[in-house]
Amino acid sequence: MRKNYNFTRRKLYLPEYGRHIHEMVDSLLEIEDRHERTRQAKAVIAVMGNINPMLRDTEDFKHKLWDHLFIMSDFKLDVDSPYPQPSRQDLTLTPQKLRYPQSRIVLKHYGKYLHQFVEQLAKESKTQPVTHEMVNIARYMRNKGYEFNNEHPNNEAIVRDIRLMVGDDHDMDLSAITQMRSEHRVNSQQRVQKRGKQQVQKHNNGRKSVKGARPQQRHNQHK
């Protein structure tokens, strides 16, 4: 008896439907009468719909089944379909290539949007003051610099980076950024003092709880 393995058979166009459905579609191509071929094609569509009975009666799913029927026939089936028959060219269109961005980011660890925001502020600085916005950007750059280098950059480094972003064509007033160092140090000192007070308070609360527990222990011993 000759064995018929799947690897010796032709490749299935849509393996999810199985080989039996493909053989049913192949039998449709052998029917000469168009009316009878269309009737048998609708029967094959009904069998294909049993794969997903929840969507079998929806319009989009029916359209999808008819498209799959033509695909499994290698676009050779000629029947009266309720939907436009797809072509091989429509299903084999190659997508257009995406163009890679050609803009160069000077300092990548700050990100592209920050670079664009600084350039926009440089243009607006010619007509209106942008001191408050630049200080906020400098604070954000300080945080990003800490994430990148694990240390807070000084004000001179932030000013230098802003100059690199805007270029030599823009002359921005960045004097307000020089005051950020004292603000950062004050905030750091306040955090350290607050943390120290919390530790002292926690220690004192622990000592009070221990003192309050000792008389109770003695009272229990006398009992």
Whole-number Cα distances in Å, 220 to 193, 208, 213, 215, 217: 42, 19, 11, 9, 5
Contact 109, 144 (CB under 8 A): yes
The whole-number pLDDT of residue 215 equals: 52
Residues 61, 62, 67, 70, CA torsion sign: positive
Burial of 75 (0-12, 13-18, 19+ CB in 10 A): middle
Q: How confident is the model over 39-61, as pLDDT tens digits?
A: 999 999 999 998 888 887 888 89
Q: How confident is the model over 21-43, as pLDDT tens digits?
A: 999 999 999 999 999 999 999 99
Question: Between these two residues, 167 and 158, which has the higher pLDDT value?
Answer: 158
Indicate whether 208 pLDDT > 60: no
The whole-number pLDDT of residue 70 equals: 93
Contact 109, 148 (CB under 8 A): yes
Q: What is the pTM of this model?
A: 0.45
Contact 77, 69 (CB under 8 A): yes
Say how far apart CA 36 and CA 208 lie, in whole Å.
Answer: 96
The whole-number pLDDT of residue 21 equals: 92
Greatest mean pLDDT among 14-23, 98-107, 112-121 lies in 14-23
